Amino acid sequence: MTDASAGAPLAHRVPDLGALELLLAVARLGSLGRAARELGISQPAASSRVRAMERLLGVALVDRSPHGSRLTDAGTLVTDWARRVVEAAEAFDAGAQALRGRRDSRLRVAASMTIAEYLLPGWLTALRRARPDTAVSLHAGNSVTVAERLLAHEADLGFVEGLSTPEGLDSAVIGHDRLLVVVGPGHPWARRRAPLDPAELAGTSLILREPGSGTRQVLDAGLAAYGGLAEPLLELASTTALKAAVVGGAGPGVLSELAVGEELASRRLVRVAVEGIRLRRDLRAVWPAGARPAGPARDLLSLTRHQEI
């Protein structure tokens, strides 16, 4: 005759760890009551757990008497097997803790240029105070590069600027940013009184970030209805380099408001008003779809939400 339980999943045929630990405690202490107290459960709950284990295995495991509890011959054999299972579970738990410890000892961040240069230093300083033993590495690039690193599992958390969440990633909006048209004080636009209109901006050769950057995405989308961007005067892969070129008088540029505060205050740059176009973008934390940030990545994400941007 075939045992109907033989085809059942293993989890349905093997007692749970709590029951096995209880059986080991009964064997060691010689009393179901003392075993229950050691494990922090009531005696009725312990008795119920033993009975459930006996029903599952189909054999009596414990003889109960007014003088205590002792294992049956079958119970002694099962206890020997239980010890090996519990020891294996402890080894498994220790290994999992080691993995968590290794994960929590490092954090790999990928961020687009503006966030990397103007926001992340403050966040990482705060994270350092909260997690002094976590080693942090930062890769700065454009939004496309950030997405590529996350999808290749080369970063634990990313930050991008743009119009939408890159494909394959989940995100949380952590702030907002405006793009400003700026020129050096010697440029004719520095003395201009009337705002630029979108068509004039689209028709002007500008100093721009490279394709794939969040800044370029916003400009491309905003000026698409006006014929798109003119041939760039310069294409630069760094916010700092772009700013230096504009300050040096090479031509007008478009930069994050976060990047030009000091230069505007000192008049090394002049903001040029633009009307009829929305040059605003969301700042997003991003991570692979379906995998919520954990450990130091979760802590860094929390820090970004506690600061007003």
The domain made up of 106-305 has a fold known as D-Maltodextrin-Binding Protein; domain 2 (3.40.190)
Domain boundaries, the chain: 4-102, 106-305
Q: What tens-digit pLDDT sequence spans the chain (309 residues)?
A: 345 455 556 666 788 888 888 888 888 888 888 888 988 899 899 889 989 988 988 899 888 777 777 888 888 898 888 888 887 887 777 666 655 655 557 899 999 988 999 999 999 999 999 888 888 999 999 899 999 999 999 999 999 998 889 999 999 999 999 999 999 999 999 999 999 999 999 999 999 999 988 889 999 999 999 999 999 999 998 889 999 999 999 999 999 999 999 999 999 999 999 999 989 999 999 999 998 898 899 999 999 975 544
Look up residue 83 and give its amino acid. Answer: R
Measured CA to CA in angstroms, residue 278 lies from 71, 86, 189, 208, 245 at distances of 78, 62, 20, 17, 24
Q: Which residues of 240-257 are buried (b: 16+ CB within 10 A; e: fewer)?
A: eebbebbbeebbbbbbbb
Partnered with residue 137 across adjacent β-strands are: 108
User: Do residues 234 and 301 lie in contact, with contact meaning Cβ atoms separated by under 8 Å?
Assistant: no
Residues forming a β-bridge with 254: 181
Question: Looking at this protein, which amino acid is placed at residue 19?
Answer: A
Q: What's the token pair of residue 96?
A: 């999992």
The pLDDT assigned to 172 comes to 94
As a whole number of angstroms, the distance between CA 22 and CA 39 comes to 7
Residue 53 main-chain phi, psi, to 5 deg: -65, -40
pTM of the predicted protein model: 0.64
The pLDDT of residue 99: 59
CA distance 69 to 72: 10
Into which CATH architecture does domain 4-102 fall? Orthogonal Bundle (1.10)
36-42-43-47 Cα dihedral, nearest 10 degrees: -90
Residue 84 pLDDT: 87
Cβ proximity of 263 and 247 under 8 Å: yes
Return the closest-CA partner of residue 271 out of 148, 145, 180, 177: 180
pLDDT for res 16:
87
